[in-house]
Amino acid sequence: MRFDLFYELAVPRFTGLTEREVYDHSLDEIALADSAGFDGVWLVEHHFFREYSHCPAPEVLFGAISQRTERLRIGHGVVLLPFNHPVRVAERIAALDIMSGGRMDVGVGRGVSPLEYEVFGGKMSESRARVDEGLEILRRAWADEPFSFDGQFWSFPEIDVVPKPLQTPHPPLWTAAVSPETFPMAAEQGLGVLAGPFKPLFMISEDRQHFVDRCHELGKDPADLGFGMTVGAVVLDDHERAREVAGTNIRWFYEQLLRLTAPVLEKGGEAYRYYREELGTLRALTGGTPSLEGLEAAGMVVAGDAEHAIEQLRGLASHGIDHVLCAVQAGGVPHADVLRSIELFGEEVIPALRGMRTGVEAPAAGRGRGRPDMRIFLRESANVTPELLFQAMPLSFRRDRADGLRALYRIDLAGEGGGTWWVDVADGSCVVTREHEGQSPDVRIRSDAETWVELAKGNRSRLGAVLRRRLRVKGDRRKAAQFARLFG
Amino acid sequence: MRFDLFYELAVPRFTGLTEREVYDHSLDEIALADSAGFDGVWLVEHHFFREYSHCPAPEVLFGAISQRTERLRIGHGVVLLPFNHPVRVAERIAALDIMSGGRMDVGVGRGVSPLEYEVFGGKMSESRARVDEGLEILRRAWADEPFSFDGQFWSFPEIDVVPKPLQTPHPPLWTAAVSPETFPMAAEQGLGVLAGPFKPLFMISEDRQHFVDRCHELGKDPADLGFGMTVGAVVLDDHERAREVAGTNIRWFYEQLLRLTAPVLEKGGEAYRYYREELGTLRALTGGTPSLEGLEAAGMVVAGDAEHAIEQLRGLASHGIDHVLCAVQAGGVPHADVLRSIELFGEEVIPALRGMRTGVEAPAAGRGRGRPDMRIFLRESANVTPELLFQAMPLSFRRDRADGLRALYRIDLAGEGGGTWWVDVADGSCVVTREHEGQSPDVRIRSDAETWVELAKGNRSRLGAVLRRRLRVKGDRRKAAQFARLFG
């Protein structure tokens, strides 16, 4: 496994920290990680996110890190390519690659903040095309020949960009990946994947499979490109202390992330459809305040003593995640705790996991084993309604279990928040609608809204509900039996 | 006096240096300067200037320097504000100010490369207005309050820029200054001045006086703002070796600078009128290859042993220059020589000059004393023609000696390159024309083209020329006697 750090430079008001303390602490922590055995460090680029992230100019920190570390790879996680001039980005990264002795990794992304586009220019609806054009310019600027460019967004006469990066042909490229279509695209474009930070493992493990499959189709080795997942991480000698810190700081981090990404759900348009329809649903389901247990079960947090952390990370590895970006300072985790986390990773966690085989090496291994599911998010939420649950069904749809299945389900729920929903499973996909003209369902399910929510949360058993007549199922028995297994 | 370093990160092909060597060497040199006693270091931002300057992204080097030094002030010399988004610049500098413990100096400028505008956007003709608007945004972004902006070039809704710089209200601001109108403007806007690098002392000392005068008119202390001048500097134990190195590397630096700034003379338009009409003339006069002696006499180079350097710098100080930016690596001066230069500055030059009073402290002192003049540029040039000399007259016009003078001179030169010129001195200004309707000259001068050029170079005396009948002067005696003194 590869172990990196991931920093957003949080300055939460409740911690009383100053910006200077956070910057100084973070540089000290990163310097420690260099000798402790970590492999890399990634810094975000976020603008105007007071408290959550005071890191709008990671490039200048990379300059500092290049002099404070000797081994760590240094990653742009990620540079917002739609509105940073790609030539300027190419120049900066080349200079950093030189100063770091060829240790740069370059993640690119389109960001999640409509405000950033309003300030820095460009249409958010064109974000993906802008990233693609930016990548083309980066590659040409890093090549030896002078070049001119006449693109959709950027055009310029012949230029001779200097300096050139040390790594040849250029530093490895990565992409932030949230939307499902990004994962196979990464394989096609030769980009490593940076998954998360707000995406649970049960969704990411599907995404990873698409990435790996597409790599294999193209004859590429996914391990050459890489697939990293960001997790909040607090590892301390005192297990309870670690969970307390994570319960405060890391939970705050995810809450803020959900809050700050809200505008993209409204304003992102078609290019961010996935955010609105799937992550938006997840946000609504959790009420914006996921529990530590929920985050942990979803593979998004590692919090506890070293033994616990090793167990958690083995779980991730069993789902193919062989590269984690540890957000050790997320939400303003106290400096002393971050330092100790880094030490414990170096002394115990990393040595225990360094050589282990993961799903990327053996793509299909472990798939589905102990797979976490969405119930963990729902259990503590007061927000769950049948409508939200049906919206969320495509998120947890187990394509791997639907092979060849063709079934139409009609669900009628009585009581407040109830109604009728149709779930149409065909060709490995799942569509939920409120109406369905002209067809009879294969299976008809009747229940009430309250029971349906409790079943979804796992607070009641289906058998008990049937026995107590709160759940009635009619129609094709085989298809009826498959229904629950389809949504893991 | 204040002593800074000035870097362009030259990678001249003839030196055989790699980009990595230049970056590594420069960082080592700057770290040495930190302990040797220098006060600051400035890095340029130039794009697409292969060999001359491989420094398009100084911000990432500042990050490195913030960790390699403890005392040095760190200066953007200068950030090209017309096409770097000012909010992005504000963010970067705030982060750097934090990491350096409040050591940033921020020079802004409009650049001299039409190509940079073609690539990064914006009209070069609007460069000054763009800088002004950019400065306003910088100041607001560094203030505590969120703000929105609706300007000529940049507009955006309310943003809360983080982080904030450590220095309050913000890091000192400076401006690159070449055009004469920039100097009083700097005083008005509260900006320090960075003069040069390609402008001789006899021009800069006039500029400085305008800056100082305007400061005093406004009740400001020019020393609070600062006035620095860039000079090429090679100081070695072996005087001859220093002059040899400077004669190779520093001369190359100035040659390249003249070559690379040529496009602005053609394409800069009205906003760069001064470059075309005055610096362009200077370039033509020197044939683009000024001699080391010429550069030294013009106060643009300090080259020799420590004793010689101290003498040279005393000369600058006597003209009010109390802050020098030493281009120690200009043109790829060998690393070992740069290191020794820095040591000798620290051991001998800086201690000898540190406490001396200069013209900024006593504005009028030393004015005109031993004032270098333009002849030194002309002496070794094969390019000098009477036409160029007349074009150059306004450059060397001594406004301070023209007080109250009103005189019209007619000069007729025989031979190849000869002709008739009129020099009209009135109200402290000087206008040269080829024709002058309806007036009789106060003084009429006859000579031949060859003699005129030799006189200008200082190779012949005026008295000798008169005695040998190569120079004849008729008309108002007092005004005739003043003619030579007017162009120093």
pLDDT digits (tens, 9 = 90+) for B441-453: 999 999 999 999 9
Write phi, then psi, for A229 (nearest 5 degrees).
-130, 135
- Residue B160: closest C-alpha in chain A: A48
pLDDT value of position B363: 35
Q: What is the mean pLDDT of residues A304-308?
A: 96
Write phi, then psi, for B115 (nearest 5 degrees).
-60, -40
B355-B361-B362 Cα angle (round to 5): 120
Contact A151/B at CB under 8 A: no
Q: What confidence tens digit (pLDDT) does each residue in B400-442 have?
A: 788 888 999 999 999 999 999 999 998 888 888 888 888 899 9
CB < 8 Å to B65, chain A: 63
Do residue B57 and residue A59 have CB atoms under 8 angstroms apart?
Answer: yes
Rounded distance between C-alpha atoms, residue A256 and residue A259, angstroms: 5
How far are the Cα atoms of A327, A353, B295 from residue A204, in angstroms, in the given order? Answer: 17, 21, 65
What mean pLDDT, rounded, does chain B reach? 89
Q: What is the mean pLDDT of residues A391-395?
A: 75
Instruction: Please tell me which of the candidates B67, B92, B166 has its beta carbon nearest to residue A64.
Output: B67
pLDDT value of position A352: 95
Q: Can you give B273-297 as a three-state secondary structure string?
A: HHHHHHHHHHHHHHCCCCCHHHHHH
Does residue A358 surpass a pLDDT of 70?
no
Rounded distance between C-alpha atoms, residue A112 and residue A269, angstroms: 11
Q: What confidence tens digit (pLDDT) does each residue in B249-308 have?
A: 998 998 888 888 888 877 877 777 777 777 677 677 666 777 788 788 788 899 999 999
pLDDT value of position A276: 74
pLDDT value of position A144: 93
pLDDT value of position A372: 53
Rounded distance between C-alpha atoms, residue B400 and residue B442, angstroms: 21
pLDDT value of position B365: 33
Q: What confidence tens digit (pLDDT) does each residue in A15-30 have?
A: 999 999 999 999 999 9
pLDDT value of position B457: 82
Q: What confidence tens digit (pLDDT) does each residue in B102-148 have?
A: 999 999 999 889 999 999 999 999 999 999 999 999 999 999 999 99
Taking alpha carbons only, the member of B475, B405, B477 closest to residue B441 is B475
Do residue A61 and residue B63 have CB atoms under 8 angstroms apart?
Answer: yes
**Torsion, CA B141, CA A56, CA A197, CA A336, rounded to 10:** -100
Does residue A394 surpass a pLDDT of 90?
no
How far out from the chain centre does Cα B279 lie? 11
pLDDT value of position B436: 84
Do residue B61 and residue A164 have CB atoms under 8 angstroms apart?
Answer: no
pLDDT value of position B367: 37
Q: Alpha helix locations (H) across B37-175?
A: 58-68, 86-99, 114-120, 127-142
CATH 3.30.1050.10 fits A384-486, yes or no: yes
Domain boundaries, chain B: 2-353, 384-486
The two beta strands, B443-448 and B472-475, are antiparallel
Rounded distance between C-alpha atoms, residue A244 and residue A440, angstroms: 52
pLDDT value of position A369: 37
Does residue A437 surpass a pLDDT of 90?
no
Rounded distance between C-alpha atoms, residue A279 and residue A285, angstroms: 10
Out of A185-199, B11-25, B44-58, least confident range:
A185-199
Domain covering B2-353: architecture: Alpha-Beta Barrel (3.20)
How far apart are the CA of A85 and the nearest CA of chain B, in angstroms? 7
Give the strand order in the sheet containing A472-475: A429-433, A419-426, A407-414, A443-448, A472-475
A162-A164-A165 Cα angle (round to 5): 145
Q: What is the mean pLDDT of residues A102-124?
A: 95
Instruction: Please tell me which of the candidates B60, B99, B157 has its beta carbon nearest to residue A95.
Output: B60
Instruction: Please tell me which of the candidates A61, A115, A156 has its beta carbon nearest to residue B119.
Output: A156
pLDDT value of position B362: 36
- Residue A101: closest C-alpha in chain B: B20
Contact B91/A at CB under 8 A: yes
Q: Which two tokens stand for residue B66?
A: 């913030």
How far out from the chain centre does Cα A336 lie? 27
Size of interface A-B (CB pairs under 8 A): 152
Q: Which two tokens stand for residue A37?
A: 């055995």
Does residue A282 surpass a pLDDT of 80?
no
Does residue B361 surpass a pLDDT of 50?
no
Instruction: Please tell me which of the candidates A27, A47, A98 has its beta carbon nearest to residue B20.
Output: A98
Out of A127-141, B88-102, B157-171, B295-309, least confident range:
B295-309
Asked if the bond preceding A163 is cis, omega within 30° of 0, the reply is yes
Share of chain B above pLDDT 70, in %: 93
Touching B: A residues 2-21, CB under 8 Å: 11, 19-20
pLDDT value of position B369: 37
Q: What is the mean pLDDT of residues A1-26?
A: 97
What mean pLDDT, rounded, does chain A reach? 89
Same fold, A2-353 and A384-486: no
